Homo-oligomer: A and B are copies of this chain.
Amino acid sequence: MKLRDIGEGRLLGQVFSRLSLGKEVVNGLGDDCAVVETRDHRNLLVLKTDCVVAGMHFLPTANALHVGWKAMMRPLSDFAATSAVPQFALITLIAPEKTKVEWVERLYRGLSRAAKRFKVSIVGGEMSGTPGPVAISVSVVGFVERNRSVSRRGGKAGGALKQKHLQFVPRIVESRWLTRNFPIHAMMDLSDGLGADLPRLAKASRVGFAIEMENLPVARGAKIDNAISEGEDYELLFAVSRRERNRLLRSWQKKFPRLLLTRIGSLSQLSTRNHQVLPRGYTHFQQPG
């Protein structure tokens, strides 16, 4: 069996289920970020790694500034999903020796701009040659207060909300505001599309879900199927209890008047009936046939 015959999620689940996690691990594999205990009694340590590969996540002709920006913002978007504060980043650049030095410098400028946007220090890095395409792996470390850590797993039957915006700036500010002001049951960032990610949140929370299709925000010119199946939204999908709904919508609009928050459906007690069949999101190693 080859990687193309098995999805990323199933493979990660398979290989990681055999790893014994230490008891200091609060959230581990399968969540947006790893969250672990340290000697710090107030905060938890938060870790995330992600990568972009030429030909997979960006075109080889892409502007290196944008590639760097995206490479940094992807893991930071997972910090938003955890309501964590990112602090330090490590960068691994894998590049063929024919790569132009100027391209690499622009790449790091993009990485650096994105890091500065959220006061993240790039503290280390490694470079390697390769006979293949350019790949950039970014690891980020930070913290979250014990009482503000959010995972995919806390979803309860009730409302599900999703906010949508076109410009890709990770929703760290919004996420931190949310956990300061509301009890957020479960949260994740939409990187593989609602159709792949919402079932993951529901599964992790052991609940069912129902989307109200008519409420889904759809970008101009796109169809509802695109809104569900296309990845790289990097918007927050989160769940609050039904009785917080109206207070949240009012406060949100006051705090972030230019960023749409939409109630897209609800979580329900688990029963097979309660899982809608959705157009699939993007799964690594597997493309919809």
User: Which residues of A pack against B, CB within 8 Å?
Assistant: 1-6, 8, 11-12, 14-16, 18-22, 24-25, 28-29, 33-34, 36, 38-40, 42-43, 45, 47-53, 55-57, 87-88, 90-92, 94-102, 104-105, 108-109, 112, 116, 119, 121-133, 135, 137, 139, 141, 143, 284-285
Assuming the contacts A15-B108, A127-B8, A133-B132, asked whether A49 and B2 have C-beta atoms less than 8 A apart, the reply is no
Q: Is the CB of B34 within 8 A of A123?
A: yes
Question: SS class of chain A's interface: helix, strand, loop or mixed?
Answer: mixed
Assuming the contacts A25-B121, A40-B40, asked whether A98 and B4 have C-beta atoms less than 8 A apart, the reply is yes
**A16 contacts which chain B residues (CB < 8 A)?**
108, 122, 125
* 3 shortest interchain CB distances as A-B pairs: A132-B132, A34-B123, A139-B139
A145–B98 CA distance with the chains assembled, in angstroms? 42
What distance in Å separates the Cβ of A69 from its nearest Cβ neighbour in chain B? 15
**A29 contacts which chain B residues (CB < 8 A)?**
123-125
Extra contacts besides A2-B101, A36-B87 (18): CB < 8 Å: A2-B97, A3-B95, A3-B101, A4-B97, A8-B127, A15-B104, A24-B121, A29-B125, A36-B88, A51-B128, A53-B128, A53-B129, A53-B132, A92-B137, A92-B139, A94-B135, A127-B284, A130-B133
